[in-house]
Structure 1
Amino acid sequence: MAQARNPFFSGVAFAIAAPLLYSATVPLSKIFSQQVEPWMLAGLLDLCAGIGVAVVYLLQRFVIYKAPHNALRGRDWRWLLLSILIGGLFAPVLQTYGIAYSSASVASLMLNLEGVFTALIAWWVFREPFDRRVAWGLGMITLGSMVLVWQGDAAFSLSWGAIAIAGASLAWATSSNLTQKIADRNPLQVVMYRVGVSGSLNTTLAFLAGNALPAPPLLGAIALTGLFCIALTFLCFMLALRQIGTSRAGTFFSLFPFTGAVLSIISLNEPVTSRLLIAGVLMAIGLGFCLKLKET
């Protein structure tokens, strides 16, 4: 019974919940991008998520009169601002552009690279303990991603949509490692600023670039997606970072691309190509290595 209350196991639960919640964003973003410009869509998803978390935070603060626990302070703001710049401004835009210019199933599997980049940055830059088994798994995931990126037969040709997804994965991974520095702070406060500020900036920049707001019914659907798929994902992922570390949380997040790919194929009736199957098998093997994690 004591083991069930161990933070490691609750951290694993949060790490699994995060990708399952986030998996719906890829097929939904593919649908939304048919009527909304990618930049505007990226901004609205984060903005609506930030507004939802802000409402909960303000209710807790001024209605329930509960002071925020472990509020941000001092150097925390530096890590938060860097996380917003890299993961809030660059990553969502690259991801929505990548989804718009590639199939949703390919985009989902390509997002496996986030776990690869997250672990590599955690090991090499932030000196988290190296795990050889996870390294083998990440190598298989990378090989699968190369299969998806490759577009030509004899000639060297790359998919720009897939390249945008790879860039988004690198930005998300960098942001995850920066967020680890403030993972013990109040999660509502961190997520509120993290997605709220980035969403506000991207929506404003999209307006300045000439993008228009979608019709109210579509805007409502985007708002619900931002609240349930973006905000809850960030909250779960922050709690996972706090309890099991960045490299472990990042590898568990590799569940998301597979569930996202399955949802995309089912909901959007996308074809199951041989390239998609080969990449999926390679990534599944890699994920199997990565998920053989033990408490240390």
Structure 2
Amino acid sequence: MHTGVIYALAAAILFGASTPFAKVLVGQMPPVALAGLLYLGSGIGLAIWYAVRAVSRRDAQDKPSTLTARDLPWFAAAVAAGGVAGPVLLMLGLHSVSASSASLLLNIEGVLTALLAWFVFKENFDRRIFVGMLLIIAAGVLLSWDHTATDGGPWGVVAIIGACLCWGIDNNLTRKVSASDPLQIACIKGLAAGSVNLAIGLALGGELPEARTVLLAGVVGFCGYGLSLVLFVLALRHLGTARTGAYFSMAPFAGAALSLLMLGEAPDLVFWIAAALMAGGIWLHLTESHAHEHEHEPMAHAHMHAHDAHHQHTHDFDWDGTEPHAHPHQHARLRHSHAHYPDIHHRHEH
């Protein structure tokens, strides 16, 4: 299986599993404060990891490329959309939507991510990918219709879809900086988003729960938001935005299955029909193959890499042969044909 697919699926499982745990915590503190604790847990945990890694890696070539000044506008906008607005909307939605159905509704993130990638950021797609997205949309509409009739109104569903839109914007903006260190990206996002959300929650009159609940929220945030985001950024680097979003659509199935076990929720027929539609859409994405002759334009950037077909360059420093390693490097013009995704080296037109 392609490395990027493994990263995306692992990210999906971690994030999906966090939803039913967040549902349990929703009633114990205000939604905005909970979003803050989840992201702070992510940021603090990743900061510890980042510090340990910095001490253990003494060779500069062994360290991932960090964010640059040119990355900061994209990254700041990504944090605002996905790190602040998205989690708050999700916590609000969880007040009126069951955890299992909320988990499935989160598939809409993949759809909105893809639509933005295709029509705003001009990432390529084909008929198979498009049909898969239609199936996922149909499943989301079915769940929304069901909750309009049974939960006293559509606002919980609207809030969750709004969260998905925020994360779709975040995903496309994060792709712009995905060649940089994913641990650094996820750590800064967690600390910034967590601090802002927690401050807002406390300013609105919220109070922190007991220490055990705070610790649980931090652990859930570290796994479901922190580690998941690190893996997601790695997947963006290898797969591009739309396809990463499609694979990430596995997240709600992980969350739905866990919520059924944890919370004893009984899924109805509509739930299973929606699940089948979403499974069909994801299958179409998983079985995609894209190959054609293409040309790489000359470019310069920095990221962790090995000397494969796309990295045939010399070094202007003393290199000991260790791979992968990171340094600024230049790509010459190259024309060839092979199966590929719209990763950081394949962002060509069709």
Deviations along 1:124-143, whole A, 9 cap, x unmatched?
11111122111111111111
- In the other structure, the counterpart of 2:4 is 11
Whether the aligned pair in 2 keeps the contact of 1:191 and 1:231 (CA below 8 Å) is: yes
CA distance in 2, matches of 1:44, 1:81: 20
Q: Cα distance 1:48–1:66, how it changes in 2: closer, same or farther (>3 A)?
A: farther
Is 1:140 matched up with 2:135? Answer: yes
Deviation at 1:104, TM superposition (A): 0.3
**AA of the residue aligned to 2:43:** G
**TM-score normalised over the length of structure 1:** 0.92
- In the other structure, the counterpart of 1:227 is 222
Q: Which runs of 5+ in 2 are unaligned?
A: 290-338, 341-350
Deviation at 1:186, TM superposition (A): 1.1
Whether the aligned pair in 2 keeps the contact of 1:149 and 1:158 (CA below 8 Å) is: no
Aligned mate of 1:243, from 233, 238, 247: 238
Is 1:211 matched up with 2:206? Answer: yes
Alignment of 1:158-237 (within 5 A): 158-237=153-232
CA distance in 1, matches of 2:53, 2:18: 28
- In the other structure, the counterpart of 1:58 is 51
- In the other structure, the counterpart of 2:122 is 127
User: Higher strand proportion, which one?
Assistant: 2
Is 1:285 matched up with 2:280? Answer: yes
Is 1:115 matched up with 2:110? Answer: yes
Q: How many residues align?
A: 287
Deviation at 1:101, TM superposition (A): 1.8
Please, what is the CA RMSD of the aligned residues? Answer: 1.7
Deviations along 1:252-276, whole A, 9 cap, x unmatched?
0010111111111111001111221
Runs (4+) of structure 1 exceeding 3 A deviation are 62-68
Aligned mate of 2:249, from 235, 250, 254: 254
Deviation at 1:158, TM superposition (A): 4.5
Deviation at 1:228, TM superposition (A): 1.8
- In the other structure, the counterpart of 1:42 is 35
CA distance in 2, matches of 1:169, 1:158: 19
**AA of the residue aligned to 1:212:** E
CA distance in 1, matches of 2:44, 2:201: 18
- In the other structure, the counterpart of 2:325 is none
Whether the aligned pair in 1 keeps the contact of 2:104 and 2:252 (CA below 8 Å) is: yes
Deviations along 1:124-171, whole A, 9 cap, x unmatched?
111111221111111111111111111456xxx852111111011111
Aligned mate of 1:83, from 66, 78, 101: 78
Q: Cα distance 1:131–1:158, how it changes in 2: closer, same or farther (>3 A)?
A: farther
Alignment of 1:95-114 (within 5 A): 95-114=90-109
Whether the aligned pair in 1 keeps the contact of 2:103 and 2:251 (CA below 8 Å) is: yes
Whether the aligned pair in 2 keeps the contact of 1:98 and 1:165 (CA below 8 Å) is: yes
CA distance in 2, matches of 1:66, 1:90: 38
**AA of the residue aligned to 1:118:** T
**AA of the residue aligned to 2:119:** W
Whether the aligned pair in 2 keeps the contact of 1:60 and 1:66 (CA below 8 Å) is: no
CA distance in 1, matches of 2:153, 2:172: 28
Bigger drift between 285-294 and 166-175 goes to 285-294
Q: Cα distance 1:84–1:152, how it changes in 2: closer, same or farther (>3 A)?
A: closer
User: Higher helix proportion, which one?
Assistant: 1
Bigger drift between 60-69 and 254-263 goes to 60-69
Q: Which runs of 5+ in 1 are unaligned?
A: none
Whether the aligned pair in 1 keeps the contact of 2:148 and 2:154 (CA below 8 Å) is: no
Deviations along 1:86-136, whole A, 9 cap, x unmatched?
111100101111122210011001000011011111111111112211111
SS in 2 for 1:100: coil
